Structure 1
Amino acid sequence: MDSASHETRSLSVVVPLYQERENVEPLLARVHEGLESYEDPWELILIDDGSRDGTGQALMELGRRYGAHVRVLCFRRNFGQTAAMQAGFDAARGRLIATLDGDLQNDPADIPRLVDELLARDLDLLQGWRRERQDALLLRKVPSRIANSLIAWVTGVRLHDYGCSLKVYRAEVVREIRLFGEMHRFIPVWIAGVTAPERIGETDVRHQARTHGQSKYGLSRTFRVLLDLLVAFFFLRFGARPGHFFGAIGLSFGLLGGLMMGWLAWVKFGLEQDIGDRPMLFVAILLLVASIQFLTTGVLAEIMTRTLFASGERTDHCISAQTDPDNAGWKQRR
């Protein structure tokens, strides 16, 4: 295989971790075992999301032991999985990027197969599908299925398992999006905003029960997903034109309030009836005031959007340490 092919298949594996001290050593062992047959250059980027149980220290120690292809980024405090994944994407040097959770429920041995399938199907994102998911039915499976169906219905991106962290991306595509808040759950949706939906696929992956540590997810996640879904829908449909979103609501309220006021004016001057104590008068005034507020909000949102696009600059989360970033190398099968 020539050097150009090696470069095309160069791989960065991004793994965010939080409070996963017991999983650090088996995680690194399984990643190296799973990628032992990978013939192209690869690196492992581990992000400690402000853990307080010694996860960061364990990552640094084992990273030095395995070699320069293992790079460790440590947040000064907990910023969340989305920020950790974005930091990993920013640090990745491979033409392809794979992500997986640090809880050992994803199998790193699936990554080479996903890479081959991504390239064979000419996709920009290949999403894992945990068809045989090893989680509690009521606490994890049922809420996940409801959330997946709702996301697919609202966004139009039809996937079975948005929550699976095992994914493979083309780096040039994933770098066109910026993750914030808790939007890591909607990465396929954001990707669909910069590439054709038919270039997003899914495939079966293995899933294993958690053996160490505790899950960071619960039923409360369902409510956050609903709120994040609303934000995702707004940014996908109106991210570049927020004035249309707020303006449509403002014009609707203004039209309804104007019709009410017109009717009341006819009642007042045409029928010569008193309208001062009619509830419709107060509702009409409320709608007109709300209309003005929504319209002005839309104008301000348009100004802010254009300012953001014009600046082209963002600031991201601080990183306090990493293992020999200047000497970071690649791992390659000999």
Structure 2
Amino acid sequence: MNISVVIPLLNEQESLQELHDWIAKVMLSNHLTYEIIFIDDGSTDNSWQIISKLSSKNKSVKGIRFLKNFGKSQALHAGFEKALGNVVITMDADLQDNPDEIPELYNMIINDGFDLVSGWKKKRYDSVISKNLPSKLFNWAARKTSGVKLNDFNCGLKAYKLEVVKHIDVNGEMHRYIPVLSKNAGFTKIGEKVVKHQARKYGVTKFGMNRFIHGFLDLITIWFLSRFGKRPMHLFGALGFIMFAIGFAFALYLGIDKLFLNTGGRLITQRPQFYISLATMIIGTQFFVAGFLGEIVLRNKTDKKRYLIKDELNLS
């Protein structure tokens, strides 16, 4: 099979038939074999019923239905687990991503040898204040922090080699950082393609300004995990050593001053250096303990499902 198209969705009943027909037309005209995997992330409208009808008419359409809304990252993870195509395309279900871009994305993976190609919505139809400016700031911070030189981390239209999606773990709200996860896993040939962005035709956006706040918090998380996720003691141990060394230096100074210099004639407990020493040594010890606990958790963690599937269509 050439392509798996993975589409997470939430309450997109108006656009699903049109999106399916558009994708099928593109695949047919380019002689590409394909599957479309719709992941219904807890929709409360008729999205699942429409997916069921599409799957009964077209066996290339497959569906996964979550028991409730678990989030886009979990939906992508479920789709990646089921994908079989040599190239995996992700796109949103709201018709803002253009299926006509799929053949060129596919060729960039197959012919140009990219591990991942990310879309760049250079010209957008979103609100400048509520989306464009925060998105530019977010993308700048993501580039500087991760070292991945992409202009649009948030674009849902991306293409991957199959082995990439099988070797990365997308969880929490990390779908924004799949290129960073891929780089950290060793898939470093990452490309970018300017893609056509379309104005939303149906419904309303499911994301508000809080997604950018969450995005920046997730950026800090992924920076920490990429640097210290497999060796937490390297961070906490270093911080603990620095803090303990500062406290010990103050304690040593107080001891020498009391025993040999006896300046000021005050009790040690009346001097501010005593409390600085005590606090920093306690904090240093706590950092060491945090590092040890992190190492223990890392060595004893077990994988746990982060979502529950209610129904599946055309999936073995």
Q: Same fold (TM over 0.5)?
A: yes
**Counterpart check, 1:72 vs 2:76:** no
Partners in 1 of 2:124 and 2:260 — Cα distance? Answer: 69
- In the alignment, is residue 22 of structure 1 matched against residue 14 of structure 2? yes
Asked whether the equivalents of residues 60 and 322 of structure 1 are also in contact (C-alpha less than 8 Å), the reply is: no
Tell me if 1:252 matches 2:245.
no
1:316 positional shift: 4.0
Post-superposition offset of 1:206:
0.7
Matches within 5 A, 1:1-16: 7=1, 10-16=2-8
Partner of 2:98: 107
Contact 1:33/1:109 (8 A) holds in 2: no
Separation in structure 1 between the aligned mates of residue 200 and residue 103 of structure 2, nearest angstrom: 22
Q: In the alignment, which of 159, 166, 176 is matched to residue 167 of structure 2?
A: 176
Q: Which residue of the partner structure matches residue 160 of structure 1?
A: 151
Give the aligned length.
313
Q: TM-score, normalised by structure 2?
A: 0.94
Which residue in the other structure is 1:331 paired with?
A: none
2:260 is equivalent to residue 270 of structure 1: yes
> After superposition, what is the alpha-carbon deviation per residue over 1:141-161, rounded to whole angstroms, capped at 9, x for unaligned?
111110101011011111100
Match of 2:221 among 227, 231, 236: 231
Q: Which residue number in structure 2 is paired with residue 47 of structure 1? A: 39
Deviation readout 1:175-230 (Å, 9 max, x if unpaired):
11111110000000000012253x01101111001111111222211211111011
Q: Secondary structure at the match of 1:209?
A: coil
Aligned AA (1:298): G
User: In the alignment, does 2:200 pair up with 1:210?
Assistant: yes
Paired with 1:229 and 1:28, the residues of 2 have a C-alpha distance of 33
The offset of 1:49, in angstroms, is: 0.3
* Aligned residue identity for 1:176: H
Paired with 1:109 and 1:118, the residues of 2 have a C-alpha distance of: 16
How far off is 1:119 after superposition? 2.1
- Kindly provide the amino acid, as one letter, of the partner of residue 122 in structure 2: R
- Measure, in 2, the Cα distance between the counterparts of 1:25 and 1:40: 20
Matching residue of 1:58: 50
Contact 1:103-1:212 within 8 A present in 2 as well: yes
Q: TM-score, normalised by structure 1?
A: 0.89
Partners of 1:298 and 1:277 lie apart in 2 by 33
Tell me, in whole angstroms, the C-alpha distance in 2 between the residues paired with 1:238 and 1:121: 33
Structure 1 gaps, min length 5:
1-6, 327-334
1:295 paired to 2:288: yes
- Counterparts of 1:155 and 1:281 in 2: how far apart (Å)? 41
SS for the counterpart of 1:94 is: coil
Query: What's 2:88 paired with?
Result: 97
Structure 1 runs (4+) deviating above 6 angstroms are none
Q: Which residue of 2 aligns with 1:87?
A: 78
Residue 167 of structure 1 deviates from its aligned partner by: 0.5
Structure 2: runs of 5+ lacking an equivalent: none
1:34 and 1:110 in contact (8 A); partners too: no
Choose from 312, 315, 323 the match for 2:313: 323
**Paired position in structure 1 for 2:116:** 125
Shift of 1:261: 1.7
Alpha-carbon shift at residue 63 of structure 1 (Å): 2.3
State the partner residue of 1:4: none
CA RMSD of the aligned region, Å?
A: 1.5
- Report the identity percentage: 35
- Between 1:203-212 and 1:37-46, the stretch displaced more is 37-46
In structure 2, the residue matched to 1:187 is 178
1-structure distance, mates of 2:130, 2:120 = 18
